[in-house]
Amino acid sequence: MNTRTRTDSRRGRRERREVERDARRSRLRVLLSRADRGVLTPEESALLRGDVEAEMAECDTHRRIAGGQQAAAMRLHRRIEAAEQCVAETEAERDQYAAEAEALRPYAIEEGRR
């Protein structure tokens, strides 16, 4: 039996990241409002820097992932187009051979009578 905890599962990791991101964004809002008023302490400045850098790193990671997904989607799109072209060519050959076979039918019937 699988005894993984929720944080080991993909869903659990995603939920944990969302909670961390929400907490970080809440801190950012508080720290930015304090910065607007000019009352940040040195510890808060360091916290602000850490949270902003974490947001930037996460954003960069997601941007790279999205780029990879777009590239994969384009490759699949090209494969689908090639497959559709192949199907169209195969159908055209089928129709051509069917027409040739139909044209030969009278000769086959004549041969069958002999």
Q: Where are the alpha helices (DSSP H) in 5-41?
A: 10-37
Is the pTM higher than 0.85? The answer reads no
**Rg of the chain (C-alpha set):** 32
Using one digit for the tens of pLDDT, what is the confidence trace for 42-88? Answer: 899 899 999 999 999 999 999 999 999 999 999 999 999 999 999 99
Residue 17 has pLDDT above 70, yes or no: yes
Distance, in Å, from the CA atom of 64 to the CA atom of 76, rounded to the nearest integer, reads 19
Q: CA 113: distance to chain centroid?
A: 64
- Neighbouring CB atoms inside 10 A of 13's CB total 12
- Neighbouring CB atoms inside 10 A of 41's CB total 9
